Structure 1
Amino acid sequence: MDNIIVGLGEALWDCLPEGRKLGGAPANFAFHAAQFGFNACAVSAVGNDALGDETLKAFDAKGLNYIMPRVDYPTGTVSVELDAEGVPTYDIKQQVAWDNIPFTPEIEEAARHCQAVCFGSLAQRSPVSHHTIARFLDATPSTCLKIFDINLRQRFYSKEVIKEGLKRCDILKINDEELVTIGRMFGYPGLDMENKCWLILGKYNLKMLVLTCGTNGSYVFTAGQLSIQETPKVAVADTVGAGDSFTGAFAAATLSGMPVNQAHELAVKVSAYVCTQNGAMPALPRELTEQVKCHK
């Protein structure tokens, strides 16, 4: 349990046109961080049902560590439809297991040995999981790197949850559409994209702000520095989980001591590769994963 990287929140099945794929942003994040040689763990909950059994077997098959209490709610599913460019839209089922993650002694122990945690707003749509995520963050060491991947979906977010996450995190991960929403919500819609990011970085005393803009590139804002990377042109199978792979790679590279611009470049390459594969958890090529393992 020492020095673990935790993906905390939803674990679910993406029901894609070609079939069911294991997913959920925190689980995707943990899976990709693990591929870079880190001790990563997905923390969520699954139901006392056949799909819950299937979830745990799938994590076992992928070699991903997990803490997944069984609860009396159905295992989470999401209906995913893809447009002509492979971009997904989601129908996220409610009152499911990951809405009801209990704060167990095992989860508390994971928090106390956590070197980095990625959490979002989606799993905080319910009081039970919101409370568990808050208690987890409170139990982490002061050195723990906290990454808030906002992940706005449907109407499952609130200003209060987002503000709390911004205050708790070291790194904010957000996309261009979410930035527009946050700008309206917090009352600064007139600023351009970059100035919104600089404002949020300073206002909440963040170490970094990561902005992804799909095919229009990505940005990493740190105090006095801006890293910009173009998005590679690839043959897209689907974009499900691409952002989570970006975050997992960026976190792994950052924790290994890689400079921001190099970590950013690697995260872009990883995300682009995941877009060429079906589903959120493909195995990454060694030429990508070895860059972090050799740097550590």
Structure 2
Amino acid sequence: ACGSASYEIVYPCAWDRIQVEEAALQRVAESDAFIYGSLSTRDEVSRKTLEQLVEQAKFKIFDVNLRPPHYDTGRLLEMMKKADLVKLNDDELYELSKAYGSKHNSIEQNIQFLAKLSGTPRICVTLGSHGAIYFENGEFYRHCGYRVKVADTVGSGDSFLAGLTYKLLNNTPPQEAVSFACALGALVASHHGATPEISLKEVENFMHPA
């Protein structure tokens, strides 16, 4: 009802006990970006594998995705320190900032706090229907979101990050990148299912209707 999903995460799952393989190490090294989340850090085997994979990555993206009680704040900070880009939602930002000792109350202040603490040059915070804030090398870029009739919010955050990653890897200016990401996330939320088929043309038409 509030636009946010809740989950019951059982153990073990597909991301637990993942063994490191040479093929995976090579694939990560060859890829433009490597995205990882916090759930893969709860299992010791998967955690050690992830640490090796991250070392091979050219561009490391940490999609925090807090799923209580399956995370450790100290471990999360270490994973943020390895990242070139950290993506959180506003609730996750406030929860982690408080856990790390922030006294700040605004989103912008806590983004700067987390960036300084982790040494991460890029932080993106999604704000649900209110868009997102992207912080890169000391500058803020914002988009207030797009109005859609929500059918299903599951998958919209992942689609947002996919759109942002796509644009950043293609050297798109940050403001344009976050606007595109918000549009893609909104379109996914307007469809049922986590991975609806949405073309690049649909996103462009949605952003710039005739």
Equivalent in 65, 69, 83 of residue 155 of structure 1: 69
Using the size of structure 1 for normalisation, the TM-score is 0.66
Q: CA deviation at 1:192?
A: 2.1
Instruction: Report whether the alignment pairs 1:133 with 2:47.
Output: no
Report what 2:40 is aligned to: 123
Report runs of 4+ in structure 1 exceeding 6 Å deviation.
Answer: none
CA distance in 2 between counterparts of 1:282 and 1:203 reads 37
Q: How many residues align?
A: 205
Q: Alpha carbons of 1:145 and 1:139: their partners in 2 closer, same or farther (altered >3 Å)?
A: closer
CA contact (8 A) 1:270 1:288 kept: no
CA distance in 1 between counterparts of 2:140 and 2:202 reads 23
Q: Alpha carbons of 1:154 and 1:203: their partners in 2 closer, same or farther (altered >3 Å)?
A: closer
Report what 2:88 is aligned to: 174
More strand by share: 1
CA contact (8 A) 1:216 1:231 kept: yes
Report what 2:197 is aligned to: 283
Using the size of structure 2 for normalisation, the TM-score is 0.91
Local SS of the residue matching 2:34? strand
Report what 2:110 is aligned to: 196
CA contact (8 A) 1:180 1:189 kept: no
Report what 1:225 is aligned to: 139
1:1-23 Cα shifts (integer Å, max 9, x gaps): xxxxxxxxxxxxxxxxxxxxxxx
Local SS of the residue matching 1:246? helix
Which segments of 5 or more consecutive residues in structure 2 lack a partner in the other structure? 206-210
Q: CA deviation at 1:189?
A: 3.9
CA distance in 2 between counterparts of 1:85 and 1:150 reads 20
Which segments of 5 or more consecutive residues in structure 1 lack a partner in the other structure? 1-83, 292-296
Report what 2:208 is aligned to: none
Q: Alpha carbons of 1:156 and 1:284: their partners in 2 closer, same or farther (altered >3 Å)?
A: same
1:244-281 Cα shifts (integer Å, max 9, x gaps): 10111100110011100001110000000000111211
Local SS of the residue matching 1:236? coil
1:126 maps to amino acid = D
Report what 2:177 is aligned to: 263
1:141-163 Cα shifts (integer Å, max 9, x gaps): xxx11111110012111022211
Q: CA deviation at 1:99?
A: 0.6
1:276 maps to amino acid = S
CA distance in 2 between counterparts of 1:195 and 1:123 reads 29
Fraction of identical pairs, as percent = 29
Report what 1:208 is aligned to: 122
1:22-45 Cα shifts (integer Å, max 9, x gaps): xxxxxxxxxxxxxxxxxxxxxxxx
Q: CA deviation at 1:190?
A: 3.5
CA contact (8 A) 2:3 2:128 kept: no
CA contact (8 A) 2:97 2:114 kept: no
Higher relative contact order (CA 8 A, sep 6+): 1
Q: Alpha carbons of 1:194 and 1:222: their partners in 2 closer, same or farther (altered >3 Å)?
A: same
Equivalent in 25, 30, 51 of residue 113 of structure 1: 30
CA contact (8 A) 1:147 1:170 kept: yes
